[in-house]
Amino acid sequence: MKRLVLIVLLMAIGQQILLSQSTQYTKRSKNEVRDGPGNYFHLLAVLPPGVAIPILKTEEGWINFPVGRVKSSDFTAWIARNCLIEKKPVQGIRDLKGEWSSTKASPTTVAAAIRGFAVRYGKAKPPVVDSLLKSQAEITATDYLEFKQEMRSGVRSLGRTQASPSDPALLADYEVLFAEEGLGLSIAARVAAEGLVDDPRLSKYVNLIATLLTESTGAYDVPIRIYVTKGEGVNAVAVPGGHIFITRRMIEMCRDESELAAVIAHEIMHLIYQHGMKEMRARLSDIKMDEAMSEIDSLQGEEPGETMLELDDIAVEAYEEVHKPRLLSYEQEADRAAAFLLAKAGYDPTAVARMLLGMREIVGKSDDINKENPFLRNDIQKRYDKLTIELQKRLAQVKGVRNEERFRKETVR
């Protein structure tokens, strides 16, 4: 009798848990599912909008949900909270099991579509695109967690006990549209054609820094990819879709890890603020994931829609936008947010100001007069003056690491 009562009780508890399990719905044009709570875990699937996600538990900004049975055991996966919404979709709910088993949810299929998108509409050369994709640094969860733990140990050694002041910009979500990722890949391929530095160790290092910084923003689920180029100038540029290029000379100009992190943080904030791409993103948002998949369908004889055919002009505009000098106000916004991002991640926030001083000294020494902006030195001074006021007002008491030793170990050859 006691056994029967126990069984009934357990069934009741199980049913109560099942009933209390909340459900949310995917909202983005593409919603990435991973095998762990972080953008450095393996990508398992890419779901369309409107898929019902039953929530098991949450871990910071990540949601764990059941997928079903794989082989002989139950299987769960993770999706960013940024991808979900509580309100049921008006146009119907998509079944998780059906969408999960769809070939269009496969990471390989999605990657092929993005590559084809970049080649067909972005006018990128296939060999260059493939070379760029192969050069992307592979970061494992173990790599990142060790890097993060070392960072935390350094912060604790400073005696820092309380959280730093934050900035609203750090909470902003950054959704990478399917079409934007394709065009971004094509632009990145053009930039990479100028030559990438073949140094896997350095590549992993800068990407670990980017992962650490991104985790402290509202775009924590977006993998930011860093590439080191052979360019002669001291420069860094952010490309739509989450690509950032830094010249080797820019890294050599840095004196410690916090200054390198300042450069990366500045470019991450340009991406999150969508500087230079706001108008273009409005046009790209009309291209849904299903329509973008027409790149795959076209291989079977189907023609893309009218919206897709407009991308020839958009690709040219996007490439030109990336290489345009950014407005002073944009640079100042990125400087300010980068300082707060450094502080939140545990770095010395004054590194942004120190990098500006370094850039100010370099300006005016270029041999190419046609490429030199005569007002750039004055702009940098204005940026430095404004940032210094902000640092004194909001971040003067914040302690942060500089990591000189690790920087020398990973960058000096």
Calculate the average pLDDT of the chain. 83
Written as one letter, the residue type at 278 is: K
Q: Which has more confidence, 380 or 231?
A: 380
Q: Report the alpha-carbon distance of residue 243 to residue 228 in Å, rounded.
A: 11
Average pLDDT on 73-98 reads 91
Higher pLDDT pick, 225 / 301:
225
Residue-range domains of the chain with CATH: 22-102 (2.30.30.40), 112-411 (no CATH)
Residue 294 to residue 18: CA distance in whole angstroms: 39
List the strands of the sheet with 236-239, edge to edge.
225-229, 243-247, 236-239
Query: Does 208 score more than 90 pLDDT?
Result: yes
Task: Record the pTM.
Answer: 0.86
Over the stretch 292-336, which tens digit does the pLDDT of each residue have?
A: 555 444 444 445 555 554 555 565 565 555 555 568 888 999 999
At CA 257, angle to CA 137 and CA 193, rounded to 5? 40
DSSP 333-346: HHHHHHHHHHHHHT
Band (276; pLDDT cuts 50, 70, 90): low
